[in-house]
């Protein structure tokens, strides 16, 4: 319609109800307060700057949609109802909405512009406050659409305007939910004029429309607050995940650094750590050869056995460190289970006697499995140790037997046993059936987990059977050694026994180049006990002096790591021309070094420290002429 605003008289009648209207407004305010307390969730904790920044970014991410809505919807509405309301009112409303569009664009581009030139905290602080102004302007402009009810007689147009208002409230509740205060600054200017003009727009049904608007607004507010809490929680979880990821990366780098430091320490210190063990092994072997007293013979043999155990444990420690660091992948080789099982059980013999337990092996005289010696020893050691810990009476039995396709090792005990519900978890790290209080004096629960890892690395299988109150049987199975490998081992052992049984002594001259005085003394003691002439030098220059004095050694044993500019490999390369009659061998305690790799590639014989006396004796018999 384009005539006089005939509905304006009803507006003034609406304004003139005076006291009635005041009472109604106060009642509505009390009702609104009660509904707010009932429907809206309590406010959350204060937000940090980072969370606020991400919430603001979420709001501005949908700003282009709001700009489009404020530009398109008023134009479509005015065009559709051009003949249902005064033209001037429609044009004025469209002008106001164009102003809103310009204001929203200014805010949006200002936010983007400041983001590139301000600090994150200053940018967030500025635009967190500016967002309230932006929300209030948006609410006032969209709320101005309620004034169009004064300039139309069309109920359809009024209904469309209310539908448009409901849509704007719903869109605002979603887009502005990251910043709940925006809902107040935008929602109230939209809601109040539409509530006040409900009776004017829908005579006789204004109260229903007012209640509908209030309930709908509360539902939207509750939805918006829940959405804001969800967004805040998601942002906080994301921040927590990033902190955990950063912490994990730092811990990983720290662990890798520690592993590298350990590897460097082992590489640098293994030579010095092996030196005293190397000297001890050679001195004890010299003592065995020189001993003529039958009374001292048992004591000397016990000392020799203890020295061999120290040597073995030392080798196992270094080899296990290499395997744990994955510097060396496990290489499977034929292992004598009889000797290994008896050796492991001898380490627990004293503990078993003190506890009143029997400790018995049941192993064939000759049985070989494909395994890595260090891992095999560790796996069996952990099983026997575990059996002794949980067995109070009776004993432990260790068996090894050949089956069709594998070698099966078993450790039987008469301990407390394990109930079926615990069996699936006993190989997990830190899991202890009989130590729920996590008493560290009863162990850490790593024994069976390490056992499982050792068997896995040897490509074996494992398992357990248990009867509560009667005992358990832990087992693992490995591949058997090939028949040709066993035949080769038998031949080597026969040759070694033949060499040992030869009555004639050896003769010849040996030069030992080693910078450790204790090692040189041990070489002298052992070589003299075997009837071999020996000369020693601390470095290459001293050895060159011996050569100038007429020394013509048959064998040169040279340490790889020596003081000065030349290492053992350099010296042996040089002495090949000046001492062509001498056979050469390198001695080393290094786990791995460039010089050791070069020596192995050049074909030099390398003896690891501590030197095995039996292997050394066999080598000397091959290289020296009998006396």
For the stretch 442-464, pLDDT in tens is 444 567 888 888 898 899 999 99
Choosing from 173, 204, 235, the residue where a domain stops is 204
Order the strands of the 555-559 sheet from edge to edge. 533-537, 509-513, 555-559, 583-588, 605-608
pLDDT at 292 over 90: no
Residue at 216 is within a domain? no
* Euclidean distance between CA atoms 107 and 125, whole angstroms: 15
Residue at 61 is within a domain? yes
For the stretch 382-434, pLDDT in tens is 899 889 988 989 999 999 999 888 999 999 999 888 888 888 778 876 556 55
Based on the fold, state whether residues 374 and 515 are members of the same structural domain: no
Residue at 22 is within a domain? no
Residue at 215 is within a domain? no
* Euclidean distance between CA atoms 537 and 542, whole angstroms: 6
Residue span of the structural domain in which 169 resides: 46-204
CATH number of the domain to which 341 belongs: 3.30.565.10
**Predicted confidence band at 369 (pLDDT cuts at 50, 70, 90)?**
very high
pLDDT at 25 over 60: no
* Euclidean distance between CA atoms 190 and 217, whole angstroms: 10
Residue at 55 is within a domain? yes
Q: What does the pLDDT read at residue 17?
A: 41
Report in angstroms the alpha-carbon separations of 511 from 25, 514, 520, 551: 113, 10, 10, 9
What is the three-class DSSP state of 17? coil
Residue at 422 is within a domain? yes
Contacts of 527 (CB under 8 A, 6+ apart): 510, 512, 533, 534
Residue at 609 is within a domain? yes
Residue at 32 is within a domain? no
Choosing from 172, 204, 236, the residue where a domain stops is 204
* Euclidean distance between CA atoms 505 and 531, whole angstroms: 7
**Predicted confidence band at 608 (pLDDT cuts at 50, 70, 90)?**
confident
Burial class from Cβ neighbours inside 10 Å (0-12, 13-18, 19+) for residue 455 reads buried
528 φ, ψ (degrees, to nearest 5): -65, -35
Based on the fold, state whether residues 343 and 458 are members of the same structural domain: yes
Based on the fold, state whether residues 62 and 105 are members of the same structural domain: yes
CB contact at 8 A, 220 and 173: yes
DSSP assignment of 347-388: HHHHHHHHHT-EEEEE--SS-EEEE-HHHHHHHHHHHHHHHH
**Predicted confidence band at 533 (pLDDT cuts at 50, 70, 90)?**
very high
pLDDT at 483 over 70: yes
* Euclidean distance between CA atoms 274 and 314, whole angstroms: 8
CATH number of the domain to which 584 belongs: 3.40.50.2300
Cα 219–chain centre separation: 46
**Residue among 229, 142, 157 at smallest CA distance from 194:** 142
Q: What is the pTM of this model?
A: 0.45
Mean pLDDT of the chain: 79
**Predicted confidence band at 28 (pLDDT cuts at 50, 70, 90)?**
low
pLDDT at 31 over 70: no
Which secondary structure element, helix H or strand E, spans residue 76, and what is its range? helix 63-80
Based on the fold, state whether residues 458 and 536 are members of the same structural domain: no
* Euclidean distance between CA atoms 178 and 56, whole angstroms: 7
Based on the fold, state whether residues 566 and 456 are members of the same structural domain: no
* Euclidean distance between CA atoms 327 and 318, whole angstroms: 12
What DSSP character marks residue 489?
H
**Predicted confidence band at 20 (pLDDT cuts at 50, 70, 90)?**
very low
CB contact at 8 A, 604 and 569: yes
* Euclidean distance between CA atoms 613 and 602, whole angstroms: 25
CA angle 22, 23, 27 (to 5 degrees): 120
* Euclidean distance between CA atoms 283 and 610, whole angstroms: 12
Among 39-43, 59-63, 203-207, 392-396, which stretch is predicted with the lowest mean pLDDT? Answer: 39-43
Based on the fold, state whether residues 414 and 470 are members of the same structural domain: yes
Report in angstroms the alpha-carbon separations of 124 from 62, 118, 132, 239, 513: 17, 9, 13, 17, 74
What DSSP character marks residue 119?
-
Q: What does the pLDDT read at residue 549?
A: 93
Based on the fold, state whether residues 441 and 527 are members of the same structural domain: no
Choosing from 443, 478, 513, the residue where a domain stops is 478
Structural tokens at position 255: 């662990």
Based on the fold, state whether residues 541 and 441 are members of the same structural domain: no
Q: What does the pLDDT read at residue 45?
A: 60
Report in angstroms the alpha-carbon separations of 35 from 179, 186, 207, 417: 21, 19, 16, 65
Among 39-43, 81-85, 424-428, 483-487, which stretch is predicted with the lowest mean pLDDT? Answer: 39-43
Based on the fold, state whether residues 446 and 536 are members of the same structural domain: no
Based on the fold, state whether residues 472 and 512 are members of the same structural domain: no
Contacts of 154 (CB under 8 A, 6+ apart): 1, 81, 84, 85
Based on the fold, state whether residues 422 and 508 are members of the same structural domain: no
* Euclidean distance between CA atoms 453 and 105, whole angstroms: 64
What is the three-class DSSP state of 255? helix
What is the mean predicted confidence (pLDDT) over 243-260?
A: 80
For the stretch 297-309, pLDDT in tens is 888 888 877 777 7
CB contact at 8 A, 175 and 69: no
Based on the fold, state whether residues 352 and 470 are members of the same structural domain: yes
The structural domain count of the chain equals 3
């Amino acid at each position: 319609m384009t005539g006089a605003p005939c509905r304006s008289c009803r507006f003034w009648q609406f304004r003139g109800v005076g006291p009635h209207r005041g009472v109604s407004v106060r009642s509505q305010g009390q009702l609104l307060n009660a509904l707010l307390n009932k429907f809206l969730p309590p406010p959350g904790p204060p937000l940090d700057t980072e969370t606020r920044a991400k919430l603001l970014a979420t709001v501005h991410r949908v700003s282009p949609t709001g700009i489009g809505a404020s530009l398109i919807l008023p134009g479509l509405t005015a065009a559709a109802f051009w003949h249902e309301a005064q033209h001037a009112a429609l044009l004025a409303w469209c002008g106001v909405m164009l102003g809103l569009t310009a204001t929203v664009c200014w805010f949006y581009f200002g936010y983007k512009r400041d983001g590139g030139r301000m600090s994150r905290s200053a940018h967030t602080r500025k635009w967190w406050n500016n967002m309230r102004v932006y929300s209030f302007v948006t609410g006032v402009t969209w709320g101005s659409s309620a004034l169009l009810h004064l300039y139309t007689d069309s109920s359809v147009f009024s209904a469309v305007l209310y539908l448009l208002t409901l849509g704007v409230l719903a869109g605002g509740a979603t887009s502005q939910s990251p910043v709940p205060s925006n809902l107040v600054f935008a929602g109230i200017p939209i809601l109040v004029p539409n509530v006040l003009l409900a009776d004017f727009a829908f005579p006789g049904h204004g109260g229903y429309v007012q209640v509908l608007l209030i309930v709908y607004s509360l539902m939207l507010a509750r939805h918006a607050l829940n959405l804001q809490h969800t967004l805040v929680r998601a942002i906080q979880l994301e921040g927590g995940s990033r902190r955990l990821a950063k912490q994990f990366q730092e811990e990983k780098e720290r662990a890798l650094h520690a592993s590298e430091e350990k590897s460097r320490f082992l590489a640098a210190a293994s030579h010095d750590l092996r030196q005293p063990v190397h000297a001890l092994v050679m001195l004890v072997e010299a003592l065995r050869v020189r001993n003529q007293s039958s009374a001292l013979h048992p004591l000397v043999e016990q000392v020799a056995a203890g020295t061999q155990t120290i040597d073995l444990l030392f080798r196992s420690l270094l080899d296990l460190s290499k395997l744990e660091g994955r510097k060396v992948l496990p290489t499977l080789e034929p292992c004598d289970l009889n000797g290994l099982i008896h050796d492991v059980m001898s380490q627990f013999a004293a503990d078993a006697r003190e506890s009143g337990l029997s400790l018995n092996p049941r192993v064939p005289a000759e049985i070989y499995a494909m395994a890595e010696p260090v891992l095999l020893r560790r796996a069996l050691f952990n099983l026997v140790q575990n059996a002794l810990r949980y067995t109070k009476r009776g004993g432990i039995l260790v068996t090894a037997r050949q089956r069709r396709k594998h070698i099966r090792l078993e450790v039987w005990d008469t301990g407390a046993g394990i109930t079926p519900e615990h069996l699936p978890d006993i190989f997990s790290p830190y899991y202890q059936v009989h130590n729920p209080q996590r008493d560290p004096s009863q162990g850490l629960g790593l024994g069976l987990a390490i056992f499982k890892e050792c068997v896995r690395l040897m490509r074996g299988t494992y398992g357990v059977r248990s009867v509560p109150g009667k005992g358990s049987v832990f087992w693992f199975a490995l591949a058997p050694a090939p028949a040709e490998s066993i035949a080769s081992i038998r031949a080597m052992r026969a040759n070694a026994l033949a060499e040992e049984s030869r009555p004639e002594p050896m003769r010849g001259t040996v030069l030992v180049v080693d910078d450790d005085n204790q090692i040189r003394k041990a070489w002298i003691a052992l070589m003299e006990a075997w009837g071999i002439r020996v000369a020693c030098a601390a470095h290459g220059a001293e050895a060159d002096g011996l050569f100038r004095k007429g020394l013509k050694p048959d064998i040169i044993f040279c340490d790889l790591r020596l003081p000065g500019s030349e290492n053992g490999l350099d010296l042996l390369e040089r002495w090949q021309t000046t001492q062509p009659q001498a056979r050469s061998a390198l001695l080393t305690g290094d786990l791995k070094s460039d010089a050791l790799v070069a020596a192995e590639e050049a074909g030099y014989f390398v003896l690891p420290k501590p030197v095995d006396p039996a292997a050394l004796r066999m080598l000397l018999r091959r290289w020296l002429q009998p006396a």
